[in-house]
Amino acid sequence: MKGTKTQKTPKELKAWEKEKKLIPVMIKKYCHGKHGTRGEELCEECRALTEYALFRLEKCPFNVNKKFCSFCKIHCYKPDMRGKIKDVMKWSGPRMIFTHPVFAMGHVFQMIKYKKKLKKEEKAESDV
Ligand code: SF4
Ligand SMILES: [Zn+2]
């Protein structure tokens, strides 16, 4: 039927869109585990971190075919927020295997692939 189609996310923005959904999930998991919150509740610090991370993501200049923030050359986070999000990733990342196994395995696979690609590029540069 005309006009009822939901708009599809362009392929090159899919990783970026996925991150927008997953960052709040990972922060919530962390907040529940580390700060004792429950349900949809978040502590003040984690609420601020969620807003900040989503804001940075919205402004990300590398949203097309987005790669990993941890390998980003400009890293746009303030140092304190960067430390906090690193803690969240470290804590929630391995736990995602139980609640979001497809994402978690896909993420690990993409990370390995990306690291290999970076190594290849570095080698090619040093061979010149
Ligand atoms: S760290 Fe880099 S990739 Fe991550 S949101 Fe900031 S600019 Fe984008
Ligand atoms: Zn918290």
pLDDT digits (tens, 9 = 90+) for 14-48: 989 989 999 999 999 999 999 999 999 999 999 99
Which atom of ligand 1 lies nearest, measured to the CA of 57?
5
Higher pLDDT, 94 or 42: 42
Higher pLDDT, 121 or 34: 34
- pTM comes to 0.84
How far apart (Å, rounded) are the C-alpha atoms in residues 50 and 3? 34
Closest to 99 measured CA to CA, from 41, 42, 48, 26? 26
pLDDT of residue 38: 97
pLDDT of residue 1: 46
Å from CA of 92 to ligand 2 middle: 12
Look-up of token digits 């400009």:
74
pLDDT of residue 113: 85
Pocket of ligand 1 (CB under 6 A): 56-57, 60-62, 69, 72, 74-76
Q: Is the dihedral of CA 68, 52, 79, 74 positive or negative?
A: positive
Closest ligand to Cα 47: 2
